[in-house]
Amino acid sequence: PIKPWHIGGPVVKGFGRGSKVLGIPTANLSTKGYSALLSEHPSGVYFGWAGLSSQGLYKMVMSIGWNPYFNNTEKTIEPWLLHEFDGDFYGEELRLVIVGYIRPERLAFPLSLNFGFEKLQANFSSLESLIAKIHEDRRIAERALDIPTYSKYRDDPYLKGSS
């Protein structure tokens, strides 16, 4: 369990890779003003609740990090809201309460290590395995957020944008 924390702001444009390459849209937030918070939390996959100004409250699973598969040079905050939207919502106020941590981010370069019989694959060898992993993360988030320990945070007033 982690101590829940908050991040919010208008949804900004990313590289447009989420939907197009992975079939997984991520509503990017600006990292401005969050460098201290981000350095306190390891890169990886988190889950929690998302409040999208006018539209409502949703479960979310998100990546914080460098996107090693794509060799990004800047850290990004990329929540995937677990809901089917009719369109984009760039510029809308998005507020997150992050309540749980699923896994660390993979290493930055494809790397195979041979230890006798064991072969450890450190990066995602294919886009397919990356996509499969993200869907596994989504299922973990969906289930965890139904547990009272995590579901109670959907009532966090921060999500409503009033504080």
Is 105 among the residues known to form the active site?
no
Cβ-Cβ contacts under 8 Å for 4 (sequence gap 6 or more): 48, 97, 98, 99, 153, 156
Tell the smallest beta-carbon distance from residue 87 to ligand ADP (Å): 7
Q: Of 89 and 150, which has the nearer Cβ to ligand ADP?
A: 89
Give the CA distances from residue 91 to residues 22, 96, 118, 123, in Å, rounded to whole numbers and listed in that order. Answer: 22, 15, 47, 33
Choose the stretch contacting ligand ADP; rule: CB under 6 A; options: 25-33, 40-48, 95-103, 142-150.
25-33
Choose the stretch contacting ligand ADP; rule: CB under 6 A; options: 39-47, 66-74, 82-90, 132-140.
82-90
Cβ-Cβ contacts under 8 Å for 55 (sequence gap 6 or more): 85, 89, 92
Rg of the chain in Å (alpha carbons): 16
Site string for ligand ADP, 32-71 (x = CB under 6 A): ----------------------------------------
Choose the stretch contacting ligand ADP; rule: CB under 6 A; options: 39-47, 83-91, 96-104, 135-143.
83-91
Residue with tokens 């973990």: 140
Q: How far apart are CA 91 and CA 160, in angstroms?
A: 16
Out of 83, 139, 152, 160, point to the residue binding ligand ADP (CB under 6 A). 83
Active site residues: 78
Give the footprint of Mg ion on this chain (CB under 5 A): 14, 18, 26, 28
